[in-house]
Amino acid sequence: MKIQQHLIMLIVGTTIGLIGCTVGPDYVPPDLPRLPDAWNTAATEGLNEGNAPIQTWWTVFDDKALTSLIERAENSNLTLREALWRIQEARAIRGIVAGKQLPQVGLNGEVNRSEASRNGFLGGLPDEFFEANNSFDVGVGASWELDFWGRIRRQVEAANAEIEVSVEDYRDVLVTLFAEVAFNYVTIREHQERLRLAHANVDGQEDTLQLTKDRFDSGLVSALDVAQADSNLANTRSLIPTLERNLALALNRLAVLLGTSPGTLNHDLSDQVPIPTEPNAVTTGLPADLLRQRPDVRSAERRLAAQTARIGVATADLYPQFSLNGFLGLQSTTAGDLFSSDSVNWSIGLPIRWKLFAGGAVKSQIAAEEARTEQLLANYERSILLALEEVEDAMVSYEKEVTRRARLAESVDATQRSLELVLTQYRAGLTDFQNVLDTQRTLLVREDDLAASEGIVIKNLVDLYRALGGGWDPKAAQQPVPPVPADEVTLAMEDPSKATG
């Protein structure tokens, strides 16, 4: 009895002593090249580097309709719902892996009646051997892999990082979704304005056509003026169907982003309102904020952490694997004796598995995991550079379009004055109709370009906020959880330690 106790103490002590040994490298966030202290474009073009309201960037436009659409998209977008369920999948996989750290217990039972063949190879035995017999078995089996080298712990570490990857991927979808909603909303308002201008030009050109007809009837001009005015009017009218088509496409796209059928937003957004305008000052934060704010950069770093843990999983195969197996059961040929002490049967074992020779497969697997880790390290560094590039490009695009818009506005003002003068001169017979045509065509193009530029300015600003990773708040340290039930999309928040513990 004392020997058994000492043996149990030895096994428990050895287990406790070895259970803390974890092979493979511990993850350490990589040292990266120093980020620039300031944005190159901001320093040259005057964008502010103060605290940027990028977590709720859409509020800077002070547009209630846009804010409402973004809130609706957050609650009903199907791509976002898909990303939410990928988080749930990652958490479930983590539970599968973590379950390996605990003993696996199963209950087995069987009732059997059998009779041996008299003509079989046992035919020489006494007759009573061939009588039908009953068998009753019930038992509990257990197995427990002793994680001496931390193989399972590394798997759990990798699974925890994969949960965080799925959360960052969800946030990346959120950032893209909000930007796409705003982009399409601005496109709708832009095309509504361009349609208004096109119709206004049609009205003006109809008046001009009537003017040429009146002058023709009076014998002051030839039929050529009438034909040219009619051609110009028809050309302007031909632009309207294209603008209406693009407006319908943007409305349909926005409806789908909100998880509804195309056409459902046509009535809600039918009233024409001005294109949103940019705030007086645009703040962008600092380059170092990208590492904290951009979900794709954060996701790349978490993928690197998960892959680093898999090196330890592969390394553990260099060492023997120990398990504890046990069985406790009852077996009897009669049901009445099944629960008697004589029916008890049990076993306990300590199986050992060790790949002493595998043709170099284990070391090759370790080398493969290390190579994958280096790949993800390069991908992480590249994601940072691409993020910096996107922000700089967005800044340049925004600033240059603001300048272009200002020049277009000056051109529109000058062309409108020119049209008034040339019409006055034409009525007085001081100029030919070609000057009227040229000025009207120029005004149509300039007004349309200006309206398009006003939309581009705002869309470029939206793209800047997207490049900065705007749309969620890292200070909140919150994680989304999938909706329950599945057909009701709600965004609850959960303590991150519960998700990764």
Confidence class for position 501, pLDDT limits 50, 70, 90: very low
- Choose from 104-118, 155-169, 351-365 the range with maximum mean pLDDT: 155-169
What's the rounded mean pLDDT across residues 458-474? Answer: 92
Of 44-53, 70-79, 408-417, minimum mean pLDDT range: 44-53
What's the rounded mean pLDDT across residues 97-121? Answer: 81
What pLDDT, on a 0 to 100 scale, did the predictor assign at position 225?
Answer: 93
The answer to whether position 273 is within a domain reads yes
The answer to whether position 293 is within a domain reads yes
What pLDDT, on a 0 to 100 scale, did the predictor assign at position 134?
Answer: 79
* CA dist., res. 10 & res. 313, Å (int): 27
What's the whole-model pTM score? 0.84
- 255 has a pLDDT exceeding 80: yes
> Which residues, 6 or more positions from 389, have their beta carbon under 8 angstroms from its beta carbon?
none
What pLDDT, on a 0 to 100 scale, did the predictor assign at position 294?
Answer: 92
What pLDDT, on a 0 to 100 scale, did the predictor assign at position 498?
Answer: 40
CATH of the domain at 371: 1.20.1600.10
> With b meaning 16 or more CB within 10 Å and e meaning fewer, what string describes 217-239?
eeeebeeebbebbeebbeebeeb
> Which residues, 6 or more positions from 127, have their beta carbon under 8 angstroms from its beta carbon?
none
- 4 has a pLDDT exceeding 60: no
134: number of Cβ within 10 Å: 12
- 10 has a pLDDT exceeding 50: no
347: number of Cβ within 10 Å: 11
Portion of the chain with pLDDT greater than 70, in percent: 86
The answer to whether position 128 is within a domain reads no
What pLDDT, on a 0 to 100 scale, did the predictor assign at position 494?
Answer: 37
What pLDDT, on a 0 to 100 scale, did the predictor assign at position 114?
Answer: 76
What's the rounded mean pLDDT across residues 411-429? Answer: 95
The answer to whether position 216 is within a domain reads yes
Tokens for 481, please give them. Answer: 């959880």
Give the chain's domain count: 1
What's the rounded mean pLDDT across residues 269-285? Answer: 87
- 50 has a pLDDT exceeding 70: no
What pLDDT, on a 0 to 100 scale, did the predictor assign at position 497?
Answer: 37
The answer to whether position 126 is within a domain reads no
Please give the sequence-ordered ranges of beta strands (E in DSSP) within 147-282, or none if there are none: none
Maximum C-alpha span of the chain: 135
- 13 has a pLDDT exceeding 60: no
What pLDDT, on a 0 to 100 scale, did the predictor assign at position 472?
Answer: 86
Range of the domain at 487: 25-96+150-318+362-500
Q: What average pLDDT does the chain have?
A: 86
The answer to whether position 351 is within a domain reads no
Q: If phi over 0 gives left and psi between -120 and 50 gives alpha, with beta otherwise, what is residue 97?
A: alpha
How do the residues of the chain divide into helix, strand and coil, expressed in percent and rounded to 5? 65, 10, 25
What pLDDT, on a 0 to 100 scale, did the predictor assign at position 71?
Answer: 94
What pLDDT, on a 0 to 100 scale, did the predictor assign at position 312?
Answer: 94
What pLDDT, on a 0 to 100 scale, did the predictor assign at position 485?
Answer: 41
Burial class (CB in 10 A: 0-12, 13-18, 19+), 143: middle
* CA dist., res. 163 & res. 93, Å (int): 9
The answer to whether position 4 is within a domain reads no
Confidence class for position 492, pLDDT limits 50, 70, 90: very low
- 43 has a pLDDT exceeding 80: no
pLDDT tens-digit map of 321-352: 888 888 888 887 777 777 887 778 888 888 88
Instruction: State residue 371 phi and psi, 5-degree precision.
Output: -65, -40
- 51 has a pLDDT exceeding 70: no
The answer to whether position 479 is within a domain reads yes
- 6 has a pLDDT exceeding 60: no
What pLDDT, on a 0 to 100 scale, did the predictor assign at position 251?
Answer: 96
What's the rounded mean pLDDT across residues 283-294? Answer: 81
pLDDT tens-digit map of 430-445: 999 999 999 999 999 9
- 17 has a pLDDT exceeding 50: no
- Choose from 27-36, 41-50, 136-145, 434-443 the range with maximum mean pLDDT: 434-443
